[in-house]
Amino acid sequence: MSKITAALESAVATVRANTPSDDAPQTRRQRAEIDRAFARILKLIAPRIRHFIRQYGLVGHWDDAEQVCAIAVHRAILAYEPEKAQFTTFVNWQIRGELQSLRFRVMTDQRPSAKKVEATTVSLDAIAGGDDGEGLSILAAIADEDALGRTEAGASEYLARAAMSALTDSYVEHLRNAGLDRIRRRAQPRKLTRAERAAGVVVPRRPSLDPSEITELEQRLEHNRQVVEGRLFDMAPLDGDHDEGARERMRQVAKRAAKAMGDLACIDPRFALMAEYRQTMLAC
């Protein structure tokens, strides 16, 4: 047994010894041992791989050939039975089989049917000269006829959703400001009558913003946002099952929101395009 054959047998034994059986978990140390042993195997048989690649006429597809050879080595390690043959003999047939399969796939122009139509096999990663003189891969030069339509549709959908989200935020902020104004007005002390002023009655001032009222307001705003996004813009599903009364309330909320957002679009320059569309629809 030569030194290379003995080294291959040792490296293969290391891989098999660190490969867990059945569904046993693999440790980090085992993975490291396998990686080092596999790299050593590839280094030992690298001259053989180069020889086979040239023998099968795959020099023009060198990277692909090296990859399938690595796959062949991996399969050979998993299926190797030391008592039947040496690893050098077993791996040779695995490498030959993978290279033959690759040659069949990438060199279809050698078939009689391909020669009749003068077909030529080229690599999609081959570099060709572009119009500006710079290198361009054949794969990158293939035109996708539907690419422009998909790009425009994607851009339109993105802009539409961004506009709907911004308009919803503007509507919710409008409701928040109106709600805060109502809370502040209710917090103002009532006017005293003449008799109360004469009697020196003092009306205690309530806090300008009641936290409980603020919490209730935010809950209503969140509900309105969900209704707008779910019923008007179909941006998010409505949560839960609702009875007829709840569905009617949501319809009313959506109806008021649609009118309010239409008015906001007319006064906010960010939504000028929406405002023009709304005026056109009203004119029709």
Task: Give the Cβ contact number of residue 7 at 10 Å.
Answer: 15
User: Are residues 273 and 154 part of one domain?
Assistant: yes
Q: Residue 140: inside a domain, yes or no? A: no
Helix H or strand E encompassing 255: helix 244-267
What are the tens digits of pLDDT across the range 160-185?
888 888 888 888 898 888 888 888 77
Strand partners, 137: 127
Q: Residue 27: inside a domain, yes or no? A: yes
Q: Residue 136: inside a domain, yes or no? A: no
Which pLDDT belongs to residue 95?
A: 92
Q: Residue 160: inside a domain, yes or no? A: yes
- pTM of the complete model: 0.43
Q: Residue 64: inside a domain, yes or no? A: yes
Contact call for residues 164 and 235 (beta carbons, < 8 A):
yes
User: Are residues 93 and 15 part of one domain?
Assistant: yes
What are the tens digits of pLDDT across the range 183-230?
877 777 667 677 766 777 665 565 566 788 888 888 988 888 888 888
User: Are residues 278 and 167 part of one domain?
Assistant: yes
User: Are residues 112 and 229 part of one domain?
Assistant: no
**Does pLDDT of 50 surpass 70?**
yes
| Across 252-258, average pLDDT | 86
- Whole-angstrom Cα distance, residue 236 to residue 49? 57
- Which one has a higher pLDDT value, 157 or 128? 157
Q: Name the pLDDT band for 73 (thresholds 50, 70, 90).
A: very high
User: Are residues 110 and 20 part of one domain?
Assistant: yes
**Does pLDDT of 284 surpass 70?**
no
- The DSSP line for the chain is --HHHHHHHHHHHHHHHTSPPTTPPPPHHHHHHHHHHHHHHHHHTHHHHHHHHHHTT-GGGHHHHHHHHHHHHHHHHHH--TTTS-HHHHHHHHHHHHHHHHHHHH-GGGSHHHHHTT-----TT-EEE-TTSSEEEHHHHS--TTHHHHHHHHHHHHHHHHHHHHHHHHHHHHHHHHHHHHHHHHHSPPPPPHHHHHHT--PPPPPSS-HHHHHHHHHHHHHHHHHIIIIIS-SSPPPS---HHHHHHHHHHHHHHHHHHHHHHHH-GGGHHHHHHHHHHHH-
**Does pLDDT of 232 surpass 80?**
no
Q: End of a domain among 65, 97, 116?
A: 116
Question: Range of 234's domain?
Answer: 147-187+207-283
User: Are residues 176 and 102 part of one domain?
Assistant: no
Phi-psi category of 67—alpha, beta or left, where left has phi over 0 and alpha has psi -120 to 50? alpha
**Does pLDDT of 237 surpass 80?**
no
User: Are residues 162 and 245 part of one domain?
Assistant: yes
Q: Which of 54-58, 114-118, 258-262 has the lowest mean pLDDT?
A: 114-118
Q: Residue 173: inside a domain, yes or no? A: yes
What are the tens digits of pLDDT across the range 91-149?
898 999 999 888 887 766 556 665 666 666 565 555 555 555 555 666 666 667 787 88
Q: Name the pLDDT band for 17 (thresholds 50, 70, 90).
A: confident
User: Are residues 278 and 161 part of one domain?
Assistant: yes
Q: Residue 95: inside a domain, yes or no? A: yes
User: Are residues 183 and 64 part of one domain?
Assistant: no
Q: Residue 8: inside a domain, yes or no? A: yes
- Total number of domains in the chain: 2
Which pLDDT belongs to residue 260?
A: 85
Which pLDDT belongs to residue 132?
A: 54
